[in-house]
């Protein structure tokens, strides 16, 4: 059965222009493969001995701090810590003097949208060593493998398949539309056969289609994440009548994470700014042990554009945004530049309050930025997210847990990633100062270790510079290939 599918660049615009699609089609036929990065596949095999660092462990309710520690990295993993690191270091080890800097696990960004390989450097340069991409496209799978092989500088990439949604008010052009259980099951099987291992669901899915996705994904061992499905939207929902699928029905469906506090307020609270109801909801989410990806920065950036009447769109760092995507976002830039800033400020304040309540009630919060769409800058926006959580009332320690151990736990990899311990993956950052006192020191790491490969300040600067050279034409080709893979008709052709 052929699936009905639509495609676009992000959830914030309605269609691609025929001119750009025509360009993408030509490029798809003519572009050579991009050259591999200069590093070799065994770059992570270099042994590193990092001496005299202050180490923080995030696995407990309070920080465990060790001073004057040495860390031995070998073969992409942490081989030893402390005295054992010195005695087990091979003769040809590369020594890195920490000079009492703080060493931390590399950061996770649990919600990104990647459009071109050039964007990867900005994540890595800002200490993000793992990203979870939540809108799959065909180019991402081989790119993921190139990063893991050391052929391309970037964070470790986890990715869902294309977003599965039903027809309705929240259908976007980049969503694969599945309006029957048969189409839904077929879509999940196709995603699995393509190589995806997680499914992203969206709010318009009918009960029958969502149930089919959930059951097929479980049979194949795939995880589900995304927006909680609401069922068919009918007049009067949600203020006058409840959604067809109640939010609480989904809490025992083993979501990897539920995305966006603002979406939870919409579905779980029926868009009411009610702190008592939010606390009761938090208690139910905590009892179900479902992690929440807050993504406060996604709405905060909408507010900041409105508050500045568009000036925020030209702030420092926006040269790291993909120009192809920015061109497609122009209608949303115009819309939000004229939005009611006072109303948006009130909404943002409530979303931050809900995030604090979730933390207080024991909900596991993970950090995501929705980078890659609107004006959410790769790498930078994760730090904006961390700042917003501190503003919401979380401690810096709690916030750093969201981007390390909490994320690893949500992904089922807490025994091998997200901490500094022997046998764990060597994804690490070195920072000046004390992040427990000032989380802002995470923004400019002195060094990054990604899968065992050391990146110093000079290379970090080069990664940022290269990230501003996103290939417009290659992005267009990536988009068209994704459209073709979903069997969609090409607009304007």
**pLDDT tens, residue by residue, 127-174:** 999 999 999 999 999 999 999 999 999 999 999 999 999 999 999 888
Is there a domain that residue 118 lies in?
yes
Identify the CA nearest to 73 among candidates 57, 56, 54, 51: 51
* Residue-wise pLDDT tens digits, 329-368: 999 999 999 999 999 999 999 999 999 999 999 999 999 9
| CB atoms near residue 412 (< 10 Å) | 10
Q: What are the tens digits of pLDDT across the range 416-448?
A: 999 999 999 999 999 999 999 999 999 999 999
Question: Where does 195-329 have alpha helices with state H?
Answer: 207-220, 261-268, 275-288, 296-307, 323-328
Assigned domain for 99 exists: no
Supply the range of the domain harboring residue 351. 18-32+105-434+461-485
pLDDT range class, residue 483, cuts 50, 70, 90: confident
Q: What is the pLDDT of residue 57?
A: 96
How much is the pTM? 0.91
Is residue 397 in some structural domain?
yes
Lowest-pLDDT choice from 33-42, 279-288, 402-411: 33-42
Q: How many helices (H) and strands (E) does the chain have?
A: 17, 18
| CATH code, 326 | 3.20.20.140
What would the pLDDT profile of 452-471 be if each residue is shown by its tens digit? 999 999 999 999 999 999 88
CB atoms within 10 A of CB 492: 12
Confidence of residue 485 (pLDDT cuts 50, 70, 90): confident
Distance CA 485, CA 28 (A): 13
Per-residue HEC secondary structure of 321-379 comes to CCHHHHHHCHHHHHHHHCCCHHHHHHHHHHHHHHHHHHHHCCCCEECCCCECCCCCCCC
**3-class secondary structure, 282:** helix
- CB atoms inside a 10 Å sphere around CB 12: 18
Q: Is there a domain that residue 76 lies in?
A: no
Mapped onto helix, strand or coil, the DSSP state of residue 81 is strand
The answer to whether residue 109 is domain-embedded is: yes
Please check whether residue 209 is in contact with residue 166, taking contact to mean a CB–CB distance below 8 angstroms. Answer: yes
85 lies in some domain: no
- How many independent structural domains does the chain possess? 1
Element (H, E) at 481: helix 472-485
405 is a domain residue: yes
Return the pLDDT at 488.
Answer: 53
- As given in the structure block, the two tokens for residue 349 are 């304040």
In a domain, residue 124? The reply is: yes
């Amino acid at each position: 059965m052929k699936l009905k599918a639509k495609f676009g660049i992000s959830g914030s615009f309605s269609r691609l222009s025929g001119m750009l699609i025509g360009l993408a089609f030509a490029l798809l036929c003519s572009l050579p493969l991009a050259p591999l990065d200069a590093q070799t596949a065994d770059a992570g095999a270099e042994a590193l001995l990092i001496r005299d660092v202050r180490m923080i462990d995030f696995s407990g309710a309070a920080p465990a701090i060790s001073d004057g520690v040495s860390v031995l990295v070998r073969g992409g993993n942490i081989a030893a810590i402390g005295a054992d690191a010195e005695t087990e270091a091979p003769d040809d080890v590369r020594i890195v003097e920490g000079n009492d800097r703080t060493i931390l696990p590399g950061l996770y960004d649990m919600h990104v949208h990647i459009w071109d390989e050039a964007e990867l450097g900005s994540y890595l340069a800002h200490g993000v060593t793992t990203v979870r991409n939540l809108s799959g496209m065909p180019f991402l799978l081989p790119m993921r493998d190139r990063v893991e092989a050391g052929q391309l500088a970037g964070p470790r990439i986890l990715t869902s398949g294309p977003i599965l949604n039903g027809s309705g008010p929240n259908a976007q052009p980049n969503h694969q539309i599945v309006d029957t259980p048969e189409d839904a099951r077929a879509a999940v099987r196709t995603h699995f056969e393509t190589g995806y291992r997680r499914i992203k669901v969206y709010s318009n899915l009918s009960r029958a289609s969502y149930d089919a996705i959930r059951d097929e994904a479980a049979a194949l061992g795939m995880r589900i994440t995304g927006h909680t499905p609401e069922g068919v939207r009918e007049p009067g929902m949600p203020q006058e009548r409840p959604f067809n699928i109640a939010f609480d029905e989904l809490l025992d469906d083993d979501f990897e994470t539920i995305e966006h506090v603002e979406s939870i307020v919409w579905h779980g609270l029926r868009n009411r700014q009610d702190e008592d109801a939010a606390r009761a909801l938090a208690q139910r989410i905590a009892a179900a042990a479902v992690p929440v990806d807050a993504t406060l920065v996604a709405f905060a950036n909408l507010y900041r554009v409105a508050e500045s009447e568009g000036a925020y769109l030209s702030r420092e760092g926006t040269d790291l945004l993909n120009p192809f995507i920015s061109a497609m976002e122009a209608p949303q830039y115009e819309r939000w530049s004229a939005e009611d800033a006072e109303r948006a400020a009130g909404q943002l304040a409530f979303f931050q309050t809900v995030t604090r309540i979730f933390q207080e009630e024991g909900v596991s919060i993970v950090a995501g930025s929705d980078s890659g769409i609107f004006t959410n800058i790769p790498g930078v926006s994760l730090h904006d997210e961390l700042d917003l959580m501190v503003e919401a009332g979380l401690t810096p320690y709690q916030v750093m847990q969201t981007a390390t151990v909490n994320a690893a736990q949500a992904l089922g990899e807490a025994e091998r990633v997200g901490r500094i311990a022997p046998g764990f993956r060597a994804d690490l950052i070195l920072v000046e100062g004390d992040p427990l006192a000032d989380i802002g020191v995470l923004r400019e790491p002195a060094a990054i270790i990604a899968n065992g490969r050391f990146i110093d300040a000079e290379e970090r600067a080069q990664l940022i510079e290269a990230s501003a050279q996103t290939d417009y034409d290659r992005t267009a080709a990536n988009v068209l290939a994704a459209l073709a893979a979903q069997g969609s008709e090409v607009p304007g052709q």
